[in-house]
Structure 1
């Protein structure tokens, strides 16, 4: 059988929503009904590549321009990626990619590969606060900046901060959450990160804001927290546990426990999944090396071992879909500049990443949860959802 026939036959399984494939000037309808989008293959993909990793094969073809989408990229992915359960992934052949080392050295390199590609790049498409996590939209007219501030405010209100408290941010990013907490709630704060770019930017912001007596940041692996002898009234971690690996979730919770005072509160904000799975091969290869998405149930299960009481669990899945679409809009408004900075293939890759993630949130393949936890029983909190 000709290569093209094998590829078309492979793609026929993705027939839940109709679309067209164009190959060698000939169109093929996949599914039944009026096609919702069109995929043009400028070059055939070997069936062996599709069988080894459907995600990598299609993703790399798009990055190279061997595969093009006619029309809106997000729309096409939103129609297609609800069928990711039909993707092939040869876990044996991709073992080193899917199951990477969780050593401190390797995880620092993995974090750096994503977050240290340049603050100037991130400033082009993130909002003014440089918040690189799910925003919270309270009304249709919210800008991305409004929604990111809403998210920070919601987290800080959930933590029930009081003047004089000490707050730890595990994976603090560029520091907007801690700066807001110190300024508006009268707490002192400490942030830890593995990203040199984020550390340098945050340190400069602390000095510029005149907060050096209230706020500090360190390059530190979360596994070194117990050695520090620090204690905090409150702790928060936003979008960080996804980088520690499934084998280390228990250690991550243990390290948070080691620095949290009795009756203290811990808010964990993270991309989650309905079930435990090792993650997408293309995302691991090109976007988040070593990334692993925890299920909600495995995190809740671990909390009991540390006498951590779950006070509130909230899903922000649709908020992350909208956040990603805002980012992609900003990204494409600066696309020419980004192509000049990063190159054409990188630009196509990043556009694909943002739209694919938006689509997977919309389809419920991944979720975003905030879990509010108390260390032991805390009867001093309001009995209602005060935030």
Structure 2
């Protein structure tokens, strides 16, 4: 007989109406018309639920112990709206919530996600191989167009001129640097910790004949200071999430050292609303060691490092739409990925992509582009519309 503590526990999340099927019996939680149905194939222990609601339900979904009849994205939105009712025993999960932020450990953590293989990401990303928030200027924009929009938008904000030098910290597969070199005539330099991304970036540089104009190295951003390099512009897209709270000061001071006086720095990062780590499932299975900075933390550390903030823009709804595009693409290759890995891996990535989309949709997390200069710069246009 299934322990009905699970049913009792799910009753805490009654802001929306939904059904729960257990052993052929159906129960309704909340008032109104049910919006989805949770089918429970196997019980979740009370201890696991009280230790972490997120981790217990996430792992049960991965195993197939829970099935969702209805829209997964909508179901996750309803749960995350009630995240203040989640259980979380921080002491029991300290090894997940408080991982090492040492350089050698971070390199392994980053590789665990990004080195799944270029062939894997190629299955469901757009042809630019951009794995960060796109920018939808129109409802008609495809994912590829929106990713190109994003890169163009960032390059415009950087106010690039021919002959300038541009550093991309955490440059991924190098698309932004290649576009900057082609369209603005700048000299690009990038760094990544992913061997797979570095390998693909070298192929792209060679294919475009930009060997003398774009350089991408497999190195940690903290090692760039020793190379005695300085740049007119610095950009970092989707990398701050891997820096770690104990390294924020080091990160900003490093960028300050690498940027010329008056230079522009654009930081594009997912942000949290506080400085508390509360997402054990995503840290255990998707981004080991990943930490979301709050906007107030970023601004605080920026000014400590002599930066002056020019502009802050939220792209929250753009990221929700980006993730739903990725999820739609990923659904089309379920069978192929399942053959390569297994069904639990597929369900894990479904939950990751849909869960993140839901988190942005309801404002559980945000994403910001912060534009700043090293010291004052009075030579830039006086309006943000440049």
- Relative to the length of structure 1, the TM-score reads 0.98
8 Å CA contact retained: 1:91, 1:98 = yes
Partner deviation per Cα, 1:169-196 (whole Å, 9 max, x = no partner): 0000000000000000010000000000
CA distance in 1, matches of 2:249, 2:18: 44
* Residue 3 of structure 1, CA deviation: 5.8
* Residue 5 of structure 1, CA deviation: 2.3
* Residue 279 of structure 1, CA deviation: 3.6
8 Å CA contact retained: 1:170, 1:192 = yes
Q: Counterparts in 2 of 1:72-221, with a 5 A limit?
A: 72-221=71-220
More displaced stretch, 339-348 vs 325-334: 339-348
Q: Counterparts in 2 of 1:175-324, with a 5 A limit?
A: 175-324=174-323
CA distance in 2, matches of 1:37, 1:363: 18
CA distance in 1, matches of 2:83, 2:126: 30
8 Å CA contact retained: 2:256, 2:306 = no
8 Å CA contact retained: 2:35, 2:70 = no
Structure 1 residue ranges, 4+ long, deviating more than 6 angstroms after superposition: none
Alpha-carbon RMSD across the aligned residues, in angstroms, is 1.0
CA distance in 1, matches of 2:21, 2:42: 10
Equivalences, count: 386
SS in 2 for 1:269: strand
Partner deviation per Cα, 1:328-384 (whole Å, 9 max, x = no partner): 000011111111122111011001100000000001010010000100111111011
8 Å CA contact retained: 1:20, 1:27 = yes
Partner deviation per Cα, 1:238-297 (whole Å, 9 max, x = no partner): 000101111111111111111000000000000001222214100001000000000001
Identify the residue that residue 33 of structure 1 maps to in structure 2: 32
8 Å CA contact retained: 1:279, 1:291 = no
SS in 2 for 1:320: helix
SS in 2 for 1:182: helix
Uncovered stretches (5+) of structure 1, i.e. residues with no partner: none
* Residue 157 of structure 1, CA deviation: 0.2
Identify the residue that residue 360 of structure 1 maps to in structure 2: 359
8 Å CA contact retained: 1:14, 1:83 = yes
8 Å CA contact retained: 2:283, 2:289 = yes
* Residue 225 of structure 1, CA deviation: 2.1
CA distance in 2, matches of 1:379, 1:347: 51
Partner deviation per Cα, 1:158-217 (whole Å, 9 max, x = no partner): 000000000000000000000000000010000000000000100111111100100101
SS in 1 for 2:252: helix
8 Å CA contact retained: 1:3, 1:46 = no
- Relative to the length of structure 2, the TM-score reads 0.98
Identify the residue that residue 382 of structure 1 maps to in structure 2: 381
CA distance in 1, matches of 2:23, 2:118: 42
8 Å CA contact retained: 1:246, 1:294 = yes
CA distance in 2, matches of 1:83, 1:224: 42
8 Å CA contact retained: 1:182, 1:188 = yes
8 Å CA contact retained: 1:3, 1:47 = no
More displaced stretch, 220-229 vs 304-313: 220-229
SS in 1 for 2:261: strand
CA distance in 1, matches of 2:78, 2:94: 29
